Structures are given as structure tokens and as C-alpha cells.
Amino acid sequence: MKNNMQRMLCPLMMMMKQNQGREEERDRFQMERNEQWNLQEERRYMEDEAHQDWMNMEMLMMFAKVTGVDPASMRDIYGG
């Protein structure tokens, strides 16, 4: 009786181990993908922020040219 039960359970146990291995691999892959996505988002955010800073400085310089204000004094005022 015990041998019969083991013979029936062995394939089931093998399938469960295979499924567990697949789930672990899928989870690991998902974590790596999420990590890559987070890094890309962070890089995009930093690039956007740098571009915005550059555009702000360009606007201040243009304003300084038009009004005749010294750009250095504007940097002190606006923290550029």
C-alpha cells in the first residue's frame, strides 16, 4: 500500500517542484524588469530636470539681455 501511494505521489511532487522553480524564475525576472524600469524612470526624471534648469537659465539670460540687467545679479536673486 505504501509503495502504491509513493508511486502515485512521486509524479505529483515532481510537478510541484517544477512549478515552484518556474514561479521563482518568473518572480526573479519580474523583479529585474521592475528594477530596470525604475532606473529608466529615474534617469528620465533627472534628464527632464536638467533640461528644465537649462531652459530656466536661458530665459533669465534672455530677460537680462532685453532689460539690460546684469545676469550675475539675476543669478543671485533667482538662485541660478
pLDDT tens track for 41-77: 999 999 999 999 888 888 888 888 898 888 777 666 6
The three three-digit cell numbers of residue 20, written as one number: 515552484
Q: Determine if the pTM surpasses 0.85.
A: no
For 75, half-sphere exposure in the C-beta direction (CA atoms, 13 angstrom radius) is 9
Domain assignment of residue 74, given as a range: 2-78
Cα→Cα distances 64→4, 52, 54, Å: 91, 18, 15
- Count structural domains, the chain: 1
CA distance 31 to 26: 9
Query: Does position 15 have pLDDT exceeding 70, yes or no?
Result: yes
Q: Assign 35 a pLDDT band (cuts: 50, 70, 90).
A: very high
80 has pLDDT over 60: no
